[in-house]
Amino acid sequence: MTLNRKFVLDNRPKTAASADNFRMIEETLPALQDGQVLIRHHYLSLDPYMRGRMNDTKSYAQPQALGQVMIGGTVGEVVESRCDKFRVGDHVVGMGGWQLYSIVDGHLPGAIRKVDTRQVPISHYLGAVGMPGVTAYYGLVHIISPKAGDTVTVSAASGAVGSAFGALAKARGCRVVGIAGGQEKCDYVVNTLGFDACIDYKQHADAVSLSRALHAACPNGIDGHFENVGGKVLDAVMLRTNAFARIAVCGMIAGYDGVPLPMAYPALILVNRLKVEGFIVSEHMDVWPAALQELGQLVGSGQFRPRETVAEGLDSAPEAFLGLLKGRNFGKQLVKLI
């Protein structure tokens, strides 16, 4: 019998999320049924979207259910199988949640998929060569659709999505400018990730000041922008957009605690004939194979060296998640479970 430990959502946050919103449960897992697979998770992914799912509000996905294991991407190893599609020892990625083990129907399409860890470290399948990387790919390739020489910007540039966006954009010959919080992150974005410039939004009290910095970094204006944050960052970018610029909206983390995020300059959508498109990467599964192939090549060749922040042990997940929401992580935030 296998003893599992998991975090469930115990109650919903009224304002900012806290560790008290989560509760640890221990359970003995049942024996496998025909077609099922038992997976021992090696890493858990922590992502900003989880904060939105904690709210009981209308959104693009159902809220996280109270008393149920917290949603989350996982990568791990098959330790028992009663499914002919998976063998013991296979490395797989899926949505196992905040727990040590998961039991999955191996025949359910898309529930888990095998990954090759010979050239790409297993943890990268939750970041650069996983959902965050594909998110960056879709926003860049299918919404912004830049040509060589275009100037593109991305908020949360040092994070998992932002760093992948930069690697993909540079590979297409773009001028890439990041927006991040703190000089250390900006230095990493430029010196390690190879962005052309990075602006520390913490040095600017309002959108006008941040927009002036963007003007200096983007003298030819902004042709495309990938938005993870919203608020004054998006306002500042819109002030520097060129005519017919494209904005891919992936996240609005500045408003996840329920604070409204008014747009300061909505008339610019008309004046500059902007294309502003929100998207959810799970609704575009057809692009995943091409995206994962390109991202795997960039990582495997060393052209893209993603950074990870790794918390140790399942017990650390709540505090690591809260730190992510406050921007304390560098690159992809993970929890090592084994």
Distance CA 92, CA 197 (A): 37
CATH for 316: 3.90.180.10
Check whether residue 277 and residue 184 sit in a common domain. Answer: yes
The per-residue pLDDT for range 13-22, each reduced to its tens digit, is: 988 999 999 9
Q: Are residues 106 and 231 in the same domain?
A: no
Assess whether 64 and 171 both reside in one domain: no
Q: Residue 180's closest CA among 188, 172, 168?
A: 188
Containing 187, the helix (H) or strand (E) segment is helix 183-191
Cα 157 to Cα 161: distance, rounded to the nearest angstrom: 8
Are residues 252 and 156 part of one domain? yes
pLDDT at residue 119 in the model: 84
Q: Are residues 116 and 154 in the same domain?
A: no
Structure tokens at 113: 């998929």
- Examine residue 294 and state whether it is found in any structural domain, yes or no: no
At 140, the amino acid letter reads: L
Distance CA 139, CA 34 (A): 40
Range of the domain at 239: 131-282
Paired tokens of 78: 């098959």
Is there a domain that residue 296 lies in? no
Distance CA 3, CA 141 (A): 44
| 289 within domain boundaries | no
- Integer Cα distance of 273 and 250 in angstroms: 20
Q: Tokens at residue 231, please? A: 């608020």
- State whether 113 and 139 are in the same domain: no
Q: How far apart are CA 324 and CA 161, in angstroms?
A: 13
Specify the CATH number for the domain of residue 169.
3.40.50.720
**Rounded distance, CA 151 to CA 197, Å?**
11
The per-residue pLDDT for range 174-185, each reduced to its tens digit, is 999 999 999 999
Residues 261 and 163 in one domain: yes
123 and 147 together in one domain: no
Going from the first residue of the chain to its last (338 residues), give the mean pLDDT of each consecutive group of 10, the final group possibly shorter.
Answer: 96 94 98 97 95 84 93 98 97 98 95 92 95 97 98 96 97 98 96 97 96 98 96 97 97 75 94 97 94 94 92 98 91 96
Domain membership flag for residue 182: yes
What is the domain count for the chain? 2
Write the secondary structure of 242-302 as one string of H (helix), E (strand) and C (coil): EEEEEEEECCCHHHCCCCCCCCCCCHHHHHCCCEEEECCHHHCHHHHHHHHHHHHHHHHCC
- Residue whose structure tokens are 């970094």: 217
Q: DSSP letter at 141?
A: I
Residue 291 lies in a domain: no
| Phi, psi (degrees; rounded to nearest 5) at 40 | -95, 115
Indicate whether 155 and 264 sit together in one domain.
yes
Integer Cα distance of 296 and 284 in angstroms: 19
The answer to whether position 288 is within a domain reads no
Burial bucket for residue 238 (CB in 10 Å: 0-12, 13-18, 19+): buried
pLDDT at 327: 86
299, part of any domain: no
Per-residue pLDDT, 103: 98
Q: What are the structure tokens assigned to 138, written together? A: 């879709």
- Residue where one domain finishes, among candidates 282, 297, 325: 282
For residues 191 and 330, membership in a common domain is answered with no
| Whether 101 and 174 share a structural domain | no
**Considering the domain boundaries, does residue 75 fall inside one?**
yes
Residues 121 and 21 in one domain: yes
The pLDDT of residue 171:
97
